[in-house]
Amino acid sequence: MASDNKAHTWAEASKASFLEAANKGTEGLRVVIGNEAGDMDSIVSSIAVAYLFQTECAKESPPIVAILPIPRDEFRLRQDVVLAFKQAGWEFDDQGAPIPFLFKGEVPELKKPRLILTDHNTFKAELWEEFIEPVVEEVIDHHLDEKKNVVTCKVTIDVTVGSCCTLVAELVYNNNELCDKDPVPQDLGTLMLAAVLCDTRNFDEKQQRFNERDKKIVPKLIESGYLPEKYRDANEGDITKSPQARWYGELIKARFDVESLSLADLLKLDNKASSIHMIDETWVSFSVSIIFMTLDDFIKKAGSEQGFLLTKIYSINVTKVHKHISSFLVVLHNKITGVIDLGLKLCDEKKLDFFVMMFKGSGKDNVRGKFFQQIIHFFAFIKDLVFYQ
């Protein structure tokens, strides 16, 4: 444990020792990764687990880092995450990312890395060509177990918990009580609290995105003093709301404040790839970006940005099926249709057959989670577009 009890200091030291070992070609280094969309829950849970493993007194402590699954210059797109890290006191570089972290593309080839997955449970080898013979050793998650891991992998999954960070925060508290007796560092506690509040939608009764474990961990984090000081002052902002509600409100506002982002940024902000096994034994790969604005606003924005052609992009109205999504735009690979635009550039970069953008509907909240199931439901329709146009 670093002497000043800051996760920031710990992260810098562990990055340096990890890179030293990696550059020597050391096998079996441990790496924590969150899911590829790189949202608040994924980023914070991966960092907190790296911290947890490094500070565990009961186990061996070889170099371990979290590698954020996005390029360094894309961190700034996640404005809720940026706000939380700034309020927690982390220092940023000139690309708008916290200095002590490792991002995708910043590590040398790693031999037989031992992986810990947070906020997802299936390792996507195609996204991590820098890992040679990786082994998934442990999973800490709140998604349905896809059962892709070997029997020796330790799997901790609670699908009813609202945030993966709730599970991780419990482990971090237990460890610190058991091991160094230091409190959980402020700059980590604040991040975990931010993630839990965002993922549980601050315990919105209508949305029911939480369970008893989330309900227990939040007061514990608040009692530890991890709510940023600004919101603890009763005279700051809307005093009819609790400090917790005021902070949550600002984090969510930051998440969806995408006015300043370019179209290309919007495509990258919340993007996940998947593939579907077809009856004829071929695989069709695609990716889905959730766009935090309505299709109308997106088209307006596209009109003002040169080089974006909305010709031959298929808009499918799906409001009836999901109240938070107003429409899909399906962008087909030019192998099939010859359309050119930003989405196709992404198809090329990621070797996809097609690309889908999902737009926000009239509902206040946006969509997370279930969109792959949605896509598979609609695949009969999309497939017609892909194969029979």
Q: Which stretch binds Mn ion (CB under 5 A): 83-91, 117-125, 230-238, 349-357?
A: 117-125
Shortest Å, Cβ 189 to Mn ion: 18
Q: Which residue is nearest to Mn ion (CB)?
A: 41
Dist. CA 356–CA 330, nearest whole Å? 4
Shortest Å, Cβ 199 to Mn ion: 6
Q: Which stretch binds Mn ion (CB under 5 A): 161-169, 185-193, 303-311, 320-328?
A: 161-169
Q: Binding to Mn ion (CB under 5 A): which residues in 252-311?
A: none
**Closest C-alpha to 68, from 91, 100, 113:** 100
Q: Which stretch binds Mn ion (CB under 5 A): 39-47, 80-88, 235-243, 313-321?
A: 39-47
Q: Which stretch binds Mn ion (CB under 5 A): 40-48, 178-186, 261-269, 328-336?
A: 40-48
- How far, rounded to the nearest angstrom, does the alpha carbon of residue 240 sit from its chain's CA centroid? 32
3-state secondary structure of 334: coil
Phi then psi dihedrals of residue 310, to 5 deg: -95, 10
Nearer to Mn ion, 40 or 263 (CB): 40
Q: Which stretch binds Mn ion (CB under 5 A): 113-121, 123-131, 293-301, 328-336?
A: 113-121
Shortest Å, Cβ 239 to Mn ion: 31
Phi then psi dihedrals of residue 244, to 5 deg: -60, -45
Dist. CA 41–CA 74, nearest whole Å? 16
Shortest Å, Cβ 87 to Mn ion: 20
Nearer to Mn ion, 12 or 158 (CB): 158
Nearer to Mn ion, 77 or 313 (CB): 77
Q: Binding to Mn ion (CB under 5 A): which residues in 308-327?
A: none
Nearer to Mn ion, 80 or 119 (CB): 119
Dist. CA 104–CA 305, nearest whole Å? 29
- How far, rounded to the nearest angstrom, does the alpha carbon of residue 311 sit from its chain's CA centroid? 31
Shortest Å, Cβ 181 to Mn ion: 30
141 touches Mn ion by CB under 5 A: no
Dist. CA 127–CA 350, nearest whole Å? 9
Nearer to Mn ion, 127 or 264 (CB): 127
41 touches Mn ion by CB under 5 A: yes
Shortest Å, Cβ 312 to Mn ion: 35
Nearer to Mn ion, 35 or 327 (CB): 35
Give how many residues touch Mn ion by CB under 5 A.
3
**Closest C-alpha to 61, from 99, 95, 94, 14:** 14
Shortest Å, Cβ 119 to Mn ion: 4
Burial per residue of 244-253, b for 16 or more beta-carbon CB atoms within 10 angstroms, e otherwise: bbbbbbbbbe
43 touches Mn ion by CB under 5 A: no
Measured CA distances, 176 to 2, 180, 185, 214, 218 (Å): 13, 6, 10, 19, 17
Shortest Å, Cβ 278 to Mn ion: 29
Shortest Å, Cβ 14 to Mn ion: 23
Q: Which stretch binds Mn ion (CB under 5 A): 121-129, 163-171, 177-185, 344-352?
A: 163-171
- How far, rounded to the nearest angstrom, does the alpha carbon of residue 381 sit from its chain's CA centroid? 29
- Per CB under 5 A, the list member of 164, 169, 196, 269 interacting with Mn ion is 164
80 touches Mn ion by CB under 5 A: no
Measured CA distances, 25 to 102, 129, 220, 276 (Å): 17, 16, 41, 36
Backbone conformation region of residue 281, classed left if phi is above 0, alpha if psi is from -120 to 50, else beta:
left
119 touches Mn ion by CB under 5 A: yes
Shortest Å, Cβ 4 to Mn ion: 30
3-class secondary structure per residue, 269-331: HCEEEEEEECCCCCEEEEEEEEECCCHHHHHHHHHHCCCCCCCCCEEEECCCCCCCEEEEEEE
Q: Which stretch binds Mn ion (CB under 5 A): 162-170, 229-237, 264-272, 304-312?
A: 162-170
Torsion of CA 148, 152, 158, 159, to 10 degrees: 10
In the DSSP assignment, the letter for residue 184 is P
Residues of this chain that interact with Mn ion (CB under 5 A) are 41, 119, 164
